[in-house]
């Protein structure tokens, strides 16, 4: 079990790096492990200022994860309009929003029972 957690922690680190490289904003990690019947262990949520930036963040995450861990997302959806792109890495699901879409859907509010960690932008 510890090996899986170490791999998941590495994955989260690379995802955050990919987001920060393109100046993604308001990065938040939701830890869903203590909640029953969840589809994954973690959500990572962030937003960009335009569909161009949202697409760039997704590309940066893929590049960072692929280069360091040789992993590809199991599934990606939402790329067509790039208002909300979901990247599924099985144990970690990444949500990259445009700000107004993120506020509308309020995933953090829907998963209010999850432990939440906000990442301070290092840029």
Mean pLDDT score across all residues of the chain = 95
pLDDT value at residue 122 = 58
- The predicted pLDDT at position 3 comes to 75
Instruction: Taking the CA atoms of 56, 4, 119 and 32 in sequence, report the sign of the dihedral they define.
Output: positive
Q: At what angle do helices 2-21 and 51-69 cross, to 10 degrees?
A: 140
Going by their DSSP bridges, the two strands 92-98 and 42-48 should be labelled as parallel
Dump pLDDT digits (tens) for 25-66: 999 999 999 999 999 999 999 999 999 999 999 999 999 999
Q: Looking up tokens 């990606």, which residue turns up?
A: 76
> For domain 2-118, which architecture applies?
2-Layer Sandwich (3.30)
The pLDDT-based confidence of 99 (bands split at 50, 70, 90) is: very high
> 0.85 cut: is pTM over it?
yes
Residue 43 tokens, joined: 């959500």
The token pair at 116 is 């939440």
DSSP assignment of 3-40, as one string? HHHHHHHHHHHHHHHHHHHTT-EEEEEEE-TTSTT-SS
Which residue has tokens 């692929």?
66
């Amino acid at each position: 079990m510890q090996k899986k957690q170490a791999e998941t922690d590495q994955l989260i680190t690379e995802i955050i790096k990919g987001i920060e490289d393109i100046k993604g904003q308001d990065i938040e990690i939701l830890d869903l492990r203590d909640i029953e019947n969840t589809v994954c262990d973690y959500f990572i949520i962030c937003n960009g200022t335009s569909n161009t930036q949202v697409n760039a963040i997704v590309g940066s995450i893929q590049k960072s994860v692929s280069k360091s861990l040789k992993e590809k997302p199991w599934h990606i959806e939402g790329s067509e309009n790039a208002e909300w792109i979901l990247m599924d890495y099985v144990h970690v699901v990444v949500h990259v929003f445009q700000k107004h879409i993120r506020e509308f859907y309020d995933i953090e509010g829907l998963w209010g029972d999850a432990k939440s960690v906000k990442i301070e932008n290092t840029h």
